Amino acid sequence: MNKIITISREFGSGGREIGKRLAEELKVNYYDSEIITEIARKTGLSEEYVANSSEKGIISYSYKFARTFSNYSNLQSNQTEILVATSKVLKEIAKKGNAVIIGRGANAILEEYAPMNIFVYADMESKIKRCHEKSSEDEKLTDKEIRNKINQIDKGRKNYHKIISNLEWGDKENYNLCINTSGIDIKNIIPSLAEYIKNWFENRERSKC
């Protein structure tokens, strides 16, 4: 069975950076925006709409924009298509080879593939600082605006996870490793993290013998 690593993360915690650097260190495939592109291709919906379905939370997003029963029905149909397509895309990826997969509820959807599930989090101060550092010149938000954005997106991710799994998003009991990136330079922890992951998979294989 292929070695699959899923990265769930709080917004601004650096989970995407950890995933990308880990994939490079481990020399495995990395999947992030490519997942959204493929879901959009399968459903015929825009990539922005697909991305928002998890960032804002599928159900709350539907209610927010539904103005009539007809519109609501169409939205519900779209969301079902997205969920089905997401499952197909993630399972196709898992069958291709070893991979690091960012978000999209991969930890729950790929449970049968026995992935290593990582959750990345940080204190609010560190997340706000990281958001400032990553923001473009034309996107200058105040600390309060960033805090609100972080809370909104994390709430959406939690709601999305409730739809696809009984496991609670962010609960340490549901992950193999939780990483607190508060005040940490991420690139410095990648080599030791990669070794930990290699050992984790090796121990799992030995336990099967």
Most confident range, picked from 41-45, 60-64, 133-137: 41-45
Question: 80-90: per-residue pLDDT in tens?
Answer: 888 899 999 99
- What is the pLDDT at residue 64? 41
Q: What is the mean pLDDT of the chain?
A: 87
When pLDDT is cut at 50, 70 and 90, the band that residue 147 belongs to is: very high
Instruction: List the CATH code of the domain at 4-195.
Output: 3.40.50.300
- Helices vs. strands in the chain: H and E counts, helices first: 9, 5
Q: Are 121 and 9 in contact (CB under 8 A)?
A: yes
**What's the whole-model pTM score?**
0.86
- What is the pLDDT at residue 76? 63
Show the CA angle centred on residue 153, arms to residues 71 and 96, nearest 5°.
Answer: 85
Mean pLDDT of 61-77: 45
3-state secondary structure of 118: strand
Using alpha carbons, select from 60, 35, 67, 70 the residue that is nearest to residue 50: 35
- What is the pLDDT at residue 88? 94
When pLDDT is cut at 50, 70 and 90, the band that residue 60 belongs to is: very low
Question: 26-49: per-residue pLDDT in tens?
Answer: 999 999 999 999 999 999 988 888
Question: 171-208: per-residue pLDDT in tens?
Answer: 999 999 999 999 999 999 999 999 999 999 999 888 77
- What is the pLDDT at residue 67? 39
Residue 57 has pLDDT above 90, yes or no: no
- What is the pLDDT at residue 167? 85
Q: Are 64 and 164 in contact (CB under 8 A)?
A: no
Give the integer Cα–Cα distance in Å for 69 and 86: 26
Radius of gyration of the chain (CA): 18
Task: List Cα–Cα distances, 176 to 103, 123, 183, 196, in angstroms.
Answer: 15, 20, 22, 11
Residue 69 has pLDDT above 90, yes or no: no
- What is the pLDDT at residue 55? 64
- What is the pLDDT at residue 140? 82
Residue 61 has pLDDT above 70, yes or no: no
Residue 72 has pLDDT above 50, yes or no: no
